[in-house]
Amino acid sequence: MRAARFGLLLAAALGALAQEPYELVLRNGRVIDPRNGLDAVLDIALRDGRIAAVGARLEAPGARGGIDLAGLIVTPGLVDIHTHLFASTGIQDAWAGDQSVYPDGFSFRSGVTTMVDAGSSGWRNFETFRHTVIDRARTRVLAMINIAGLGMLTNIVEQEPSDMRPEEVARLARKHADIVVGVKTAHYQRPDWTSVDRALEAGKLTGLPVMVDFGYFLPERPFWRLVTERLRPGDIATHMFRAMVPWVDANGKLYDYLHQARRRGVKFDVGHGGGSFVFRNAVPATAQGFYPDAISTDLHGGSMNAAMMDMPTTMSKFLAMGMPLNEVILRSTWLPAQLIRRPELGHLTVGAAADIAVWRVLEGDFGFADVAGGAIRGNRRLLCELTVKDGRIVWNWNARGATDFRKLGPEYGAASTVEVIVRPPE
C-alpha cells in the first residue's frame, strides 16, 4: 500500500517535471550528432542548462523562447583539445613563449565550448593558471600539465630534465582532477628521449593520456619510433601534418608505420598551429582515409592571425580535402571528448550539458592556406551562426531570437528603478 502511494507521488512529481516549460527550443535545424547516430531535421529543447528533449516537431507548451534554424546545421559544441590559454603571463613574444590568448575571446565565436590547454603551464605554475584564467572563463577549460616545471613560459625551460618531475605532475593532477585531462611535453631539442619518457611516467602515475609535440626532429629519435614503440594506447601525437613527419613513400602511398601506430591505439591530433600543417601531408592522408582522431587548432596569438585562424577554418580545410561533413563533425566533437576521457561532452544526448553550435555552410570559391605557403581551393566554408554553452546563448552572429526593435515599445531597454530617460524640452 505504502509502495503504491509512493509510486503515485513519484508519478505526480515526474509529471510536474515534464510540464515545466523549456527555456529554449532550437527548431528545424539539421542536427548532426555522431555519438547518437543522428543526422536529421529535428528540434532540441533546453532546460536548466541541459538538453531536455530531441525530436521532430517537439511540443513546447509555455516555452519561453524558440529559434528557427531552418537551413542551418546543428552540432554539439566543439571540443578543441589543443589550445594555449595561459594569457595571464602577459607574454606575447613569438620567440619566448606560447603566445596564449584568453579563452572566451576566441571560443564561442567559432562554435567551441570546450578548450583543452595543451601544456602552457607546468607543475610549478599550473595553479596560477587555474586561478587567473581557467576559473574565470565561461568557456569550459580543461588542461594538460606540462612535464616541464614552468610549462611554455619560454622554450628554454622545456629543455631542463631536472625540472621534469612526474610525481609533481601526478600530485597536481590528483588535486585538480576536475580539470586536468593529460600530460604534455613539447619543443624538446635534445637528441634523447628524456622529455617523452618523463611525460610517460607522469601518464602512468596519473592514468591520463600523454600528448607529445615532438619538438626537434632528430635522427637519434625518429618519429616512427615515437608512435610505434614509445607512446601507449590512448596517447596522442599532435602536429600530425607537420612538414617533418614522413607520410608518403616515393609512390605516394602512406607509410605502413602510421597504420601500425593506429592499430596499437596511438591517437593522432591535428594541432594545426603556426608551423604544423602542410597540405603536402594532409591531402594524401585524407585521400587514403587516414583521418585525424581530433581536429584541433593549436590556437595562440601567432596561429590565429596566420593560416590556421580558428576551428571553422581548420574544419573547412578537411571539407575541401574531401572529408565528409559528418566525419569532420565527429572529429571535432565526440572523438576528441573521448581522447580526453570526458564522455559526457561532445554530444546532444538528453541530460547532457546544453553545449551546441549552429553552422551556416557558405557556398562559393574559397582559398585555404597551410603554414608553408601552400594552398588549396574549396567550395564550402563553415560559419558559426550561434553558440550555446550550458543552455545560454553566448554567440549570436545573426541576431536570431531577438525581436524587431519597432515591436518592442517606445522605451524598451530603459526599464530600471535607478536610471530614467531625461528628455530635452520640446
Residues near Zn ion (CB under 5 A) are 118, 298
DSSP for 308-358?
---HHHHHHHHHHTT--HHHHHHTTTHHHHHHTT-TTSSS--TTSB--EEE
Nearer to Zn ion, 118 or 283 (CB): 118
Residue 171 to residue 180: CA distance in whole angstroms:
11
Give me the least distance between CB of 114 and Zn ion, in Å please.
Answer: 16
- Angle between helix 194-206 and 166-175 (nearest 10): 40
Count the helices and strands in the chain (H runs, E runs): 10, 15
One DSSP character per residue, 35-70 reads GGTEEEEEEEEEETTEEEEEETT---TT-S-EEE-T
Cα angle: 319, vertex 321, 324; to 5 degrees: 40
Place of cell 565561461: 138
Between 34 and 122, CB nearer to Zn ion: 122
For Zn ion, the closer of residues 297 and 338 by Cβ is 297
Instruction: Give CA–CA dist 235/335, Å, rounded.
Output: 14
Query: 118 or 142, CB closer to Zn ion?
Result: 118
Q: Determine the Cα–Cα distance for residues 338 and 33; give it in Å rounded to an integer.
A: 14
Smallest separation (angstroms) from Zn ion to the CB of 226: 16
DSSP secondary structure of 269-283: B---TTTSB-HHHHH
| Minimum separation from the CB atom of position 84 to Zn ion (A) | 6
**Gap between the Cα atoms of 73 and 232, Å rounded:** 36
Quote the least distance from Cβ 68 to Zn ion, whole Å: 39
Nearest distance from residue 154's CB to Zn ion, in Å? 14
Q: What angle do CA 125, 126, 130 make, to 5 degrees?
A: 120
| 3-class DSSP assignment, residue 19 | helix
CB-nearer residue toward Zn ion: 141 or 254: 141
Q: How far is the CB of 298 from Zn ion (least distance, A)?
A: 4
Q: Which is nearer to Zn ion, 32 or 142 (CB)?
A: 142
DSSP annotation of 403 reads: -
Q: What one-letter code names the amino acid at 365?
A: D
Give min distance, CB of 142 to Zn ion, in A: 15
Kindly tell me which of 118 and 386 has the beta carbon lying closer to Zn ion.
118
Closest approach, Cβ 176 to Zn ion, in A, equals 20
Nearer to Zn ion, 80 or 201 (CB): 80
- Residue closest to Zn ion, measured at CB: 298
